[in-house]
């Protein structure tokens, strides 16, 4: 619980600072400029999650499964090199799409910067998760706070200087994550943080990555990125700049709930994958998920009032999609808590299937309701969350009825290896 509070606190501070940057942008930029800024942020976030390929979750799981810190360190070094390679490839690919898609022409400059900044953003993201895998929660939380503070500082400086969305995007998506990645690398791989070598003659498990888990989580990460960030790009192709600006403003405020949910999940993951009793852990996660979702629902009315006020003139148009998104991300609190038990029982393919379904529902509902303007993708996100929560809880309900043995028969990977 203490670890969760530390990581959530760091994420909450970082998210609040990043949201402060978005508030500044919403208040000083025109509708067209803010729409470009919002699309640039969506492209950056989408590219960062594409480049992740599930490596953040894999880093935590593999570190937790390692028999010795030195083994975990070698795994993290290998994963980081993989992250740098995939990050560069994804940046080029996303930049190419941005340059070729005609509907993105009004947002091209900011979107191109967002695509290029993915290299630094994805690296910073990975290093933060790697620190959590080592259970260095204070450092991980501090990095999140630093990155958010840097983004707020750079966007604020641009606003004071009278600079537009392009300059703000450079500070937000390139400079801030680059500095965060540099600090994260120093924290993770400096001599002072290196674990002691094992005693001579002590056995160490090989520093091999579970390739099956990495492959499945890589594809899952791609679809998850499309779920979370594809809505803005889909709306940009279906509606005008005013709707894009309104939805982006609503998303930036409500995404604070999403970030806190992610922080809670990542803080718990290293403990979940090593839990000795999968069924007891599943029941505990259901209770935690209900508590998290219930807490957000209690706070929702206040956030629905405060959000539009903070957003300024654009807040009136963003009110309806903001309320819908807050409801969707509140429900997400349950999903984020429960889905991790399927990593513990090695059912990653279920998570992949769920994420594909989630994307299909989100995109379908958005297209069907496109006449609703800025509210269309919000309804899509809400529908997707309801569907995936029903699916994620189904095996647990079946287990209660003794019709699913996933949780009783599963073994921890390290325990299975020792037995072999």
Per residue in 290-305, pLDDT tens? 999 999 999 999 999 9
**pTM to 2 decimal places:** 0.69
DSSP symbols for 218-245: HHHHHHHHHHHHHHHHHHHHHS-HHHHH
pLDDT of residue 413 exceeding 50, the answer is: no
Report the pLDDT value the prediction gives residue 136, as an integer from 0 to 100.
78
Give the pair of three-digit tokens for residue 358.
Answer: 């989630």
Q: Which carries the bigger pLDDT value, residue 170 or residue 59?
A: 170
End-to-end CA distance of the chain: 34
Q: How is the chain split into domains, by residue range? A: 2-192+210-414
Q: Between 77 and 309, where is the model more confident?
A: 309
What is the band of 200 on the pLDDT scale with cuts at 50, 70, 90?
very low
pLDDT digits (tens, 9 = 90+) for 27-43: 888 888 888 898 898 88
pLDDT digits (tens, 9 = 90+) for 76-135: 777 777 778 888 888 899 899 888 888 888 888 999 999 999 889 888 888 887 787 677
Tokens 């979107």 found at: 111
24-31 contact pairs (CB < 8 A, 24+):
24/152, 24/155, 24/156, 24/159, 25/155, 25/159, 25/165, 25/168, 26/249, 26/252, 26/311, 26/312, 26/314, 27/312, 27/313, 28/159, 29/164, 29/165, 29/168, 31/241, 31/242, 31/245, 31/314
Residues 6 or more apart from 341 whose CB is under 8 A from it? Answer: 272, 278, 281, 282, 285, 396, 407
Q: What pLDDT was estimated at residue 71?
A: 66
Q: What is the pLDDT of residue 295?
A: 94
Query: According to the model, what pLDDT value does residue 202 have?
Result: 41
Residue 229 pLDDT > 90: no
Residue pair 7/140 in contact (Cβ under 8 Å)? The answer is yes
d(CA 142, CA 366): 37
């Amino acid at each position: 619980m203490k670890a969760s509070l530390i990581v959530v606190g760091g994420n909450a501070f970082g998210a609040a600072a990043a949201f402060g940057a978005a508030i500044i942008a919403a208040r000083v930029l025109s509708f067209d400029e803010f729409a470009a800024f919002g699309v640039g942020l969506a492209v950056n976030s989408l590219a960062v999650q594409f480049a992740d390929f599930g490596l953040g979750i894999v880093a935590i799981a593999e570190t937790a499964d390692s028999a010795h810190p030195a083994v975990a360190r070698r795994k993290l070094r290998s994963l980081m090199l993989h992250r740098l390679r995939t990050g560069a490839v994804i940046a080029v690919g996303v930049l190419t799409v941005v340059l070729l898609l005609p509907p993105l022409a009004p947002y091209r400059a900011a979107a191109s910067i967002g695509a290029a900044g993915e290299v630094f953003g994805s690296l910073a993201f990975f290093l933060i998760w790697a620190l959590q895998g080592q259970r260095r929660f204070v450092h991980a939380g501090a990095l999140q706070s630093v990155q958010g503070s840097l983004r707020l500082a750079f966007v604020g400086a641009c606003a004071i200087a009278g600079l537009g969305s392009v300059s703000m995007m450079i500070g937000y998506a390139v400079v801030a994550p680059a500095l965060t990645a540099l600090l994260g690398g120093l924290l993770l791989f400096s001599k002072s943080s290196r674990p002691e070598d094992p005693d001579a003659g002590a056995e160490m498990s090989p520093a091999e990555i579970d390739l099956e888990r990495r492959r499945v989580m890589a594809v899952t990460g791609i679809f998850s990125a499309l779920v979370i960030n594809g809505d803005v790009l889909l709306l940009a192709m279906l509606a005008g700049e005013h709707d894009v600006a309104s939805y982006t403003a609503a998303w930036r405020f409500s995404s604070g709930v999403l970030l806190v949910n992610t922080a809670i999940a990542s803080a718990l993951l290293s403990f979940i994958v090593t839990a000795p009793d999968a069924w007891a852990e599943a029941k505990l996660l259901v209770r935690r998920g209900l508590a998290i979702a219930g807490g957000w629902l209690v706070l929702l009315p206040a956030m629905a009032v405060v959000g539009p006020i903070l957003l300024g003139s654009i807040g009136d148009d963003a009110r309806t999609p903001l309320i819908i998104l807050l409801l969707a991300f509140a429900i997400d609190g349950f999903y984020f808590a429960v889905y991790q038990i399927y990593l513990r029982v090695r059912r990653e393919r279920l998570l992949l299937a769920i994420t594909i379904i989630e994307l299909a529902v989100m995109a379908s509902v958005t297209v069907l309701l496109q006449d609703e303007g800025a509210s269309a993708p919000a309804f899509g996100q809400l529908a997707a969350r309801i569907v995936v929560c029903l699916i994620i809880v189904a095996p647990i309900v079946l287990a209660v009825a003794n019709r699913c043995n996933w949780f009783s028969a599963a073994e921890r990977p390290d325990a299975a290896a020792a037995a072999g």
